[in-house]
Amino acid sequence: MGLQDSSQDLSTEMEVDAFRRIFPLRFFERHLSESLRPDGRQLGKARDTIVNLGLVSTADGSALAKIGSTTMLAAIRMEVMTPSTDSPDEGCIALEFHMPPICSPTVRPGRPADAAPVISKRLSDTILSSGMIDLKELCLVSGKAAWMGYLDIYCLDADGALFDAALLSAVAAFSNLQIPVVALNDNGRIVAITGGKDQDNASITEKEAVNKEKRKLTLKNIPFSLTCILHKNYILADPTTEEESIMDTLVTVVLDSSDQMVSFYKSGGSALAYSSAIKSCVELARKRAKELNQILGEMDID
């Protein structure tokens, strides 16, 4: 593949791969000037997204989300807790994002990745403040027992746009969640009712299943996010790791299903976000939210 005319002598003689490694910024700018990216995408287009539900049999709800090569596995397990006295009717969600050493050459075992706690906190804030989950639905017995949902998200392959993929997998896992049917025991403990076995039903005679109807959570205002890179006057949606490493200004917009903005995040970077850039990012995020809503909608039908 020949390079177009260039003022630099060195770059006309080099192979493409070497040029890509040694002059990454120029390599990308050559593509951007033609409104393309090296993988052939348009500037505002996100990569192919796939969501699969219910893969982890030990969890009450799970989902695998892939955006391009970035792969996230989210799993929710429900446990019972005593709710706090100032909110006796509410349960709780504990979210944690892990980047195991398999996902990227930059992560070492024993030392958590730099990005992991940041994404963990942002995800937690986004999910709880978007109002997607009504914590009152997690209540079992007011003041005595409520559900605590442990949501663990594992990054299996890190190729850029980690926050987007993690949020998508978390939302999909919640939509897949089947809360186990439980009843209140004589001792005041909550026990699970398993359909087949009869040995322990003797002790659960009086109390009916506490939550026979409420097996699935109602999700309203589902948040969807899009991360973009701002570089000079280009806006690139859904960056890969290579793009993120060369161009440092990342902007994440989170919108919910009614087009309200849930969060806007830009942390430093050399490019300034003027209001025109912000508006374009929000526009791109809006389109992306529609795509993601459709993908999730197709999943729920199963």
**What residues line the site for another protein (CB under 8 A)?**
56-59, 62, 69, 71, 73, 75, 77-82, 87, 90, 92-94, 96, 98, 100-105, 108-110, 124-125, 128, 135, 148, 150, 152, 154, 156-159, 180, 182, 189-192, 194, 197, 199-200, 241
User: Largest alpha-carbon pair distance within the chain?
Assistant: 86
Residue 7 class from Cβ within 10 Å (0-12 exposed, 13-18 middle, 19+ buried)? exposed
Phi then psi for residue 102, to 5 deg, are -70, -20
- What minimum distance in Å lies between the beta carbon of 58 and another protein? 5
Handedness of CA 50, 53, 56, 57 (dihedral sign): negative
Residue 59 or 235 with smaller CB distance to another protein? 59
Residue 66 class from Cβ within 10 Å (0-12 exposed, 13-18 middle, 19+ buried)? buried
Residue 24 or 273 with smaller CB distance to another protein? 24
- What minimum distance in Å lies between the beta carbon of 213 and another protein? 17
- What minimum distance in Å lies between the beta carbon of 247 and another protein? 19
Residue 24 or 180 with smaller CB distance to another protein? 180
Contacts of 105 (CB under 8 A, 6+ apart): none
Residue 6 or 185 with smaller CB distance to another protein? 185
Spatial distance between the Cα atoms of 243 and 37, rounded to a whole number of angstroms = 10
Phi then psi for residue 116, to 5 deg, are -60, -50
Contacts of 35 (CB under 8 A, 6+ apart): 42, 43
Contacts of 76 (CB under 8 A, 6+ apart): 59, 60, 61, 62, 149, 150, 151, 152, 173, 174, 177
Contacts of 21 (CB under 8 A, 6+ apart): none
Spatial distance between the Cα atoms of 268 and 220, rounded to a whole number of angstroms = 32
- What minimum distance in Å lies between the beta carbon of 148 and another protein? 5
- What minimum distance in Å lies between the beta carbon of 70 and another protein? 9
- What minimum distance in Å lies between the beta carbon of 9 and another protein? 31
Task: Count CA atoms closer than 13 A to 116's CA, side-chain side.
Answer: 21
Residue 131 or 269 with smaller CB distance to another protein? 131
- What minimum distance in Å lies between the beta carbon of 6 and another protein? 30
- What minimum distance in Å lies between the beta carbon of 191 and another protein? 6
Residue 109 or 268 with smaller CB distance to another protein? 109
279 DSSP assignment: H
